[in-house]
Chains A and B, each alone.
Chain A
Amino acid sequence: MKFFRSITEIFGYSPFNALSKHAKLCGRAIGLLQQQFEAYRRCDFEEVERLRDEIDELEHHADQIKEEIRGNVSKSLMMPVDRHDLLEFLKVQDDIINYCEHVGHMLTFRRVKAPKEIWDEFEVLLSKIMETVNEYEEMVEHISRLIETSFSKKEVKDALEHVPIVEKLEHECDQIQIGLHTKLFNSDLNPIDVHLMVEWVVHLGHIANSAARAADRFRIMILGR
């Protein structure tokens, strides 16, 4: 529109919706990873590869959101949170989906053979990770309420109550991982199969770990105003 002077420029780019969207993608990726393990277990390897590609796509989309935020959150923006805290938070949150992508690929490396109890244990680990990331997502969803209420004490308290829960769930993931590692190293399975499954466990652990670290960065960002 020509012949038009405006003050719209004063309202800068807001990264908060994009941050929530990014967190949602992380949650969706884990859901797919869970399905991928199920498909693997029933030896539907075509489905395993299809799900890998789908996770890849989500990861790519998340990267685009990350780039959008990084490209727009310039120094001249005045936001209710510190810019560095925000970017650091985003970086750690992005690790969640990155590790999902890693595991998604690792499932296509080799067709391993494992007994039922190992698969059951993987199922337990994955649902615990899902629980962790769901809790994490709920925490991030508080962002819009925090902005609306201009970080009222009650809203801050409500949002940060999720942090210790995420940390507790992450610790439970750790316990399951330890159990799985012990089982795997003491099995008489093919050593290469064991090696690959150990890698899976390690990387699945990274997902939960990243969620806990991102929750911590979220708290730093909210309290560091």
Chain B
Amino acid sequence: MIEILTIAAIAIGFYVAWNIGANDAANSMATSYGSKALTLKQIVIIASVLEFLGASIFGHRVTYTVAKGIVPIELLSHDLVIFGALSALISAGFWITVATYYRLPISTTHSIVGAMLGFGLAAASQRYITVEQIKWGVLLKIVFSWVLSPLIGAFLAFVVFSLIRITLLERFRSESVESVFRYLQVLTACYMAFAHGSNDVANAVGPITAMLGYKGGAPYWVLVIGGLGIAVGVATWGYRVIETVGRHITELTYTRGFSAEFATATTVLAASSLGMPISTTHTIVGSVIGVGLAGGLASVNLKVVYRIILSWIITVPIAAALTISIYTVLVAFV
């Protein structure tokens, strides 16, 4: 039975990873396509390879936070952790699918953190742990990083683009500046894919790590599976998202794309090294606003900010409530 549940969890984790590759990775890479710095094929290859590398080389810290940072799994029996982690994955996978269908700008990160919180609350309601034993301190830090990451992205992008503007666009012909940044943007696109993989892989494999690494560390191949899932997501569906999104963001020239990508990747990679699961999508939105604030864009629609805040507010409770329900059913019937 346990083996079946574990295999099911790995399969669902792979599905979540696929989703991350299909939508979130694609979104972050679409800026390179929109600015025509790279062709679609090049982007798909870069994204798949670097997302995979980021996930497998640099994904362990955030994965650890998702696996053990929220719910004190060492206080629970192994069976309960398996039920809880599986419920969290089903819940996050389901919510991501529904939200994607309705085109809500939700974050897979928020979904999995909400789902893990739901697992903790469900365990607490059955008195396996007390509510106080859920690691609220870590949760608070995570929420804080969600608020901070788009702001840092905006700040960095503002600074980077302002520097480009003052030192280059003021002095040289904009065409020659842009043509240099065409190549530099290839680098930031790689940077971006690597950073994204390193942070978002945890959303798919964090719960699996909780199951398999119940005692001690999780096997390394868990991250590899997550990385593969993301890469497959980019290659099988993400290219369509990149194409569609890229066509809409033609006004993002090389210098702007570079600024937004550099700011986002730096913010996300910093979060990964601190073990903080943050939303890359929301960070890139912050970065684009930063470029806009520096006068780099013809028009930024700030309405999207309200939609993002709304999606935060609904995602965490929905993912938590879904997990509690699935967990309750699993514990009662299995």
Q: Which residues of A contact B (CB under 8 A)?
A: 1-16, 74, 76-80, 145, 147-154, 225
Contact = CB atoms under 8 A, between A and B. Distances in A.
A6 B299 contact: no
Contacts of B100: 3-5
Contacts of A13: 299, 301
A4 B103 contact: yes
B297 interface: yes
22 contacts: A3-B22, A3-B237, A4-B103, A6-B30, A7-B27, A7-B285, A8-B244, A9-B304, A10-B288, A10-B300, A10-B304, A11-B252, A12-B299, A12-B301, A15-B299, A79-B300, A148-B174, A149-B169, A149-B170, A150-B165, A152-B170, A225-B295
A6 B245 CA distance: 7
Contacts of A8: 244-245, 248-249
Contacts of A12: 299-302
A52 B304 CA distance: 45
Given A5-B100, A10-B288, A145 B301 contact: no
A6 B103 contact: yes
A77 B241 contact: no
Nearest to B287: A10
Interface string B274-289: 0000000100110011
A6 B303 contact: no
B176 to A, nearest CB: 12
Interface residues of B, number: 48
Contacts of B248: 6, 8, 11
Given A1-B244, A14-B298, A152-B174, 17 more contacts: A1-B240, A3-B100, A3-B101, A5-B24, A5-B99, A5-B104, A5-B105, A5-B106, A7-B285, A10-B285, A10-B289, A13-B299, A77-B301, A78-B300, A78-B301, A78-B302, A149-B169
A76 B295 CA distance: 16
Most B Cβ at <10 Å: residue of A5, A80, A225: A5
A79 B299 contact: yes
A69 to B, nearest CB: 11
A5 B97 CA distance: 10
Contacts of B284: 7
Contacts of A14: 251, 298-299
Nearest to A16: B298
Nearest to B162: A150
Contacts of A225: 295
B253 interface: yes
Nearest to B284: A7
Contacts of B244: 1, 4, 6, 8
Contacts of A1: 240-241, 244
Contacts of B253: 148
Interface in B1-57: 22-24, 27, 30
B295 A150 contact: yes
A9 B23 contact: no
B40 to A, nearest CB: 15
Contacts of B30: 6-7
Contact of B249 (A4, A11, A74): A11
A11 B297 contact: yes
Interface in B237-268: 237, 240-241, 244-245, 248-249, 251-253
A5 B252 contact: no
B170 A78 contact: no
Given A1-B244, A4-B244, A79 B105 contact: no
A87 to B, nearest CB: 14
A2 B237 CA distance: 11
A8 B301 CA distance: 10
Nearest to A153: B170
Contacts of A78: 289, 292-293, 297, 299-302
A225 to B, nearest CB: 7
A80 B103 contact: no
A4 to B, nearest CB: 6
A145 B285 CA distance: 25
Interface string B170-206: 1000100010000000000000000000000000000
The 8 closest A-B pairs by CB, nearest first: A12-B301, A14-B298, A12-B299, A8-B248, A76-B303, A78-B300, A14-B299, A9-B304
A141 to B, nearest CB: 15
